[in-house]
């Protein structure tokens, strides 16, 4: 960040009258809602940003650091945005959902909506034992034939020996996906 550069290079002198030109505005964070459309509570799926920079400083995400500091019953401001436009012409069609990591949130919302009948979810993350988000729900839905679940874990060859990334799983099931796209779209 600009602040880190200024702190690391103390000889750098930025003219004060231009300070607002150097500091970017805080952009809105569009955290994904993973709850169903009619659920009373809003559920968010968020990756907490916290890492060590090359200069060995801890860097935290502005909004995720704020969110993890919240306590139950704290009041927050939020704005809901509609991302999916579902219409009746889509009813009965298959849906192919591709989700790396916390990108699973909007897919969870679609699954919970009950709008689609033939749902195929391709989900990937790093390590199965640590990063298999919503594992119980997804496996239960897969076992109940609510969804067809395909997984892979990029840093876990024991649990994902044939595929490292989601695109590998897509490639592996290419004929099935091609059939879904060609026959049912």
* The pTM of the whole model exceeds 0.85: no
The reported pLDDT for the residue numbered 156 is 96
The answer to whether residue 168 scores a pLDDT higher than 60 is: yes
Q: 49-58, 82-91, 150-159 — which is least confidently predicted?
A: 82-91
Identify the band that residue 56 occupies on the pLDDT scale cut at 50, 70 and 90: confident
Average pLDDT over residues 127-152: 97
Query: Which tokens belong to 159?
Result: 């649990």
Backbone angles phi, psi at 147, to 5 degrees: -130, 165
The reported pLDDT for the residue numbered 61 is 86
What are the CA-CA distances from residue 44 to residues 27, 64, 70, 117 (Å)?
Answer: 18, 11, 14, 24
> Residues near 48 by Cβ (< 8 Å), separated by ≥ 6?
61, 64, 65, 67, 68
Question: What tens digit of pLDDT does each residue of 77-94 get?
Answer: 777 776 666 788 888 789
Q: Calculate the dihedral angle through the C-alpha atoms of 11, 14, 16, 19, rounding to the nearest 10 degrees.
A: -130
Q: What is the DSSP string of 16-42?
A: GGGHHHHSPPPPPP-PEE-S-TT-SS-
In this structure, how many other beta carbons lie within 10 angstroms of the beta carbon of residue 102?
Answer: 18
Write the burial class of residue 132 (CB in 10 Å: 0-12 exposed, 13-18 middle, 19+ buried). buried
The answer to whether residue 184 scores a pLDDT higher than 70 is: no
Taking the C-alpha atoms of residue 36 and residue 84, their distance in angstroms, rounded to an integer, is 12
Identify the band that residue 118 occupies on the pLDDT scale cut at 50, 70 and 90: very high
The reported pLDDT for the residue numbered 82 is 65
């Amino acid at each position: 960040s600009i602040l880190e550069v200024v702190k690391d290079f103390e000889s750098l002198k930025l003219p004060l009258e231009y300070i607002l030109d150097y500091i970017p505005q805080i952009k809105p964070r569009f955290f994904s809602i993973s709850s169903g459309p009619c659920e009373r509570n809003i559920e968010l799926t968020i990756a907490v940003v916290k890492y060590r920079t090359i200069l060995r400083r801890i860097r935290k995400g502005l909004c995720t650091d704020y969110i993890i500091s919240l306590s139950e019953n704290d009041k927050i401001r939020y704005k809901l945005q509609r991302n999916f436009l579902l219409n009746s012409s889509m009813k009965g069609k298959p849906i192919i959902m591709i989700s790396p990591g916390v990108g699973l949130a909007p897919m969870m919302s679609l699954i919970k909506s009950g709008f689609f009948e033939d749902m195929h979810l391709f989900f990937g993350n790093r390590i199965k034992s640590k990063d298999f988000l919503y594992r119980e729900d997804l496996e239960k839905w897969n076992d109940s034939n609510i969804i067809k679940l395909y997984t892979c874990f990029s840093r876990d060859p024991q649990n994902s020996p044939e595929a490292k990334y989601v695109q590998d799983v897509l490639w592996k099931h290419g004929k099935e996906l091609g059939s879904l796209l060609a026959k049912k779209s």
